A and B are shown apart, each in its own frame.
Chain A
Amino acid sequence: MILRNRIRDLRLQKALTQQALAERVGVTRQTVIAVEHSKFAPSIRLALELARALEVSVHEAFWLEDESGGTVQ
């Protein structure tokens, strides 16, 4: 299963730059980029901090996807 997210969409909705989001959650801009591209699976703590910074629940920001592309409940 793959961890997917809509951090990029949510960030753009909030008109935040990657750098601004990175500063809000205390990580590097490269880490935000890696999370947005699903190249890095954040810890539960960072996932919660990202969701809080974007004012959504963690379920709205992250979900699991199976190999066929379906969302895992």
Chain B
Amino acid sequence: MTGMTAYYVSRTLISAGFGVLLAATGTTWWVAALMAGIVFLLFLWAPQSGRYAVHPELGVTALRRDERTQGITDKAAKNAFVVVMLAVLALILYYGRLAPAEVPVAALDLLIALGALTYFGTDLWLRRTSGAKD
């Protein structure tokens, strides 16, 4: 098995495994199947997305970031880390001390959402402007 066949077979197995995992952890079967289908569609889209350089000779690891896209994801991760750390600092100052029991769970959800938003926002912005380098 060579080329993109290996990639597609491996992603089919990963998608199916994800669906089985969801079903095994209490998700209804049709939601699990739907989520597995969505994951598989993302894997199908990835080689055509322009986000990865395609190297069929590498088999299951056929998709690789090139230097520009790697630079973009690195910068997005850095920005997300800085924003989350600043938000944590703000929470600590707001609540007066680092006591997790004092911090509402909703605030932690907000941190995750803030980090994800910063990551994807930076990623999209840099892909539009192509300015990946510092």
Contact = CB atoms under 8 A, between A and B. Distances in A.
Nearest to A41: B133
A39 B132 CA distance: 9
Interface stretch (B7-15, B47-55, B97-105, B117-125): B47-55
Chain B interface size, under 10 / 10 to 19 / 20 to 34 / 35 or more: 10 to 19
Interface string A23-40: 100111111011001011
Contacts of A29: 50
Contacts, number: 45
A26 B66 contact: yes
A45 B130 CA distance: 19
A40 B53 contact: no
A29 B49 CA distance: 10
Contacts of B68: 27-28, 30-31, 34, 40, 42
A13 to B, nearest CB: 24
Contacts of A26: 53, 55, 64, 66
A33 to B, nearest CB: 8
A27 B72 CA distance: 14
B55 A30 contact: no
Interface residues of A, number: 17
A24 B130 CA distance: 21
Nearest to A26: B53
A40 B130 CA distance: 6
A37 B130 CA distance: 10
Contact of B67 (A23, A27, A30, A33): A27
A68 interface: no
Contacts of A22: 53
Interface of A: 22-23, 26-31, 33-34, 37, 39-43, 46
5 closest A-B pairs by beta carbon, nearest first, are A34-B130, A39-B130, A27-B66, A31-B68, A40-B130
